[in-house]
Amino acid sequence: MPSFIPNFDADPDDRPPVPAHAMAIKQWTRAYLKLSDDVAVTVTELNCADPGCPLLETVIVVFEPGRTRKWKLHRPKAAVTKIMIQQALAAPPTD
């Protein structure tokens, strides 16, 4: 029987990508920030090497003419919810 709970202990290279969830994160970001279609939004899951950081983090980058904004969520992409996106985007972007 398939499991709908992601295995966060698995090696990131062994986990299948979840493109539908990345698209949902992009859509939530676009809606919350009221972005036009010509603004690029990327969602990336990265290994985090910072002390105290979880093994995986999700990075959202918004590329607008003249500026780039970035937010980090300290959790795997599959664990990110719409409310988490709203809370993250309400804070100033990171450098």
**Residue 11 covered by a domain:** no
**Residue 12 covered by a domain:** no
pLDDT value of residue 84 = 95
pLDDT value of residue 2 = 44
Beta strands 56-64 and 67-73: pairing type? antiparallel
| Cα 74 from Cα 31, distance rounded (Å) | 21
**Residue 78 covered by a domain:** yes
62 in Cβ contact with 40 (< 8 Å): yes
Q: pTM of the prediction?
A: 0.77
pLDDT value of residue 94 = 86
Domain assignment of residue 48, given as a range? 18-90
Q: What pLDDT digit, counting tens, does each position of 9-60 carry? A: 555 555 555 678 899 999 999 999 999 999 999 999 998 777 777 788 999 9
**Residue 2 covered by a domain:** no
Higher pLDDT, 14 or 67: 67
Total domains in the chain come to 1
pLDDT value of residue 85 = 96
